Structure 1
Amino acid sequence: MTQLPLARFDITAEQIAYVVDVFYARVRVHQVLGPVFSAHVEDWPEHEEKITRFWCNAILREKCYSGNPMRVHVSRPDVKAEHFPIWLGLFHEVLQAELPELTARQWGALADRIGEGFRTGIVAMRQPKDAPPKLF
């Protein structure tokens, strides 16, 4: 299988912002993700702008985002490792519906890598200090 490049693919900041808007519109009404996000997001437009900057930084390397998303996710006990596959599934649906196929696949590969990093980080950081690592 051919490895897709994980960043700097053919997409604009406007397309990124549009995908983020569509995605969070779906998140807000999602039966599992909606309540988790609603418990922490007070200003949806501000959150979406922040996440757009995150993706513009990750994909376009615009250096427009600063923050520690791992710390944010770990610090919220209602954000669980099992939420990330749900999040990624919904994100892939939006990417496939809103972008050309190759762009959706490339952004999806990057999102998978980042999402898996968050998931495994949450599992590792919430374990007791002397517990053996969970590798799944």
Structure 2
Amino acid sequence: MNTDSLRQLVHDFYADVIAHELLGPVFQKELGSRWSAHLDRMVDFWSTVMLGTRTFRGNLVQRHMQLQDVSPAHFNAWIQLWTHHTHERFDSATTYKLRRVAHDIGRQLFTGYFEAQAAISNAR
């Protein structure tokens, strides 16, 4: 695994995200014409996490808390696509690491997102 292979993974993965009937509309609404910048940030993110490049700066959880119309099904679909793309591209040890990181991040985002939504609902 290197930056080039992660870049290809991210680009191929998000091509499927854009085309996905559930995920595509959420990402299109949020990103609009800023897909290129998002892909660059995601390459930086995965390079930082997997290769230690330290090229990513930002608060992943805070950014995702701003999304609207997200359900648990969105998280499941994202993980399924990620699993497909990692399995297709890398050896089993690398695939395991990429999937483990994605599941850990997904769990953090899921918990943060739905706890925030519950707090907003309870405050009303």
Matched, 1:85 2:85: no
| Number of the residue aligned with 1:46 | 37
Letter in 2 for 1:108: R
Letter in 2 for 1:110: V
Structure 1 spans left out of the alignment, 5+ residues? 1-10, 132-136
> CA 1:80/1:69 → structure 2, altered by over 3 Å: closer, same or farther?
farther
Structure 2 spans left out of the alignment, 5+ residues? none
Matched, 1:16 2:6: yes
Q: TM-score, length-normalised on structure 2? A: 0.89
Percent sequence identity over aligned pairs:
26
Measured after TM superposition, the shift of residue 82 of structure 1 is 3.1
Compare the two structures and name the one with the higher helix fraction.
Answer: 2
| Number of the residue aligned with 1:75 | 66
Which of structures 1 and 2 has the larger relative contact order (alpha carbons within 8 angstroms, sep 6+)? Answer: 1
Q: TM-score, length-normalised on structure 1? A: 0.82
Q: Provide the secondary structure at the position in 1 that maps to 2:75.
A: helix
Q: Relative to structure 2, which stretch is displaced further, 38-47 or 11-20?
A: 38-47
- C-alpha RMSD of the superposition: 1.6
Give the total of aligned pairs: 121
Instruction: Give the whole-Å Cα distance in 2 for the aligned partners of 1:119 and 1:75.
Output: 13
Matched, 1:33 2:37: no
Q: Deviations over 1:30-57 (max 9, x none)?
A: 0100111011112222111110101111
| Number of the residue aligned with 2:98 | 107
| Number of the residue aligned with 2:47 | 56
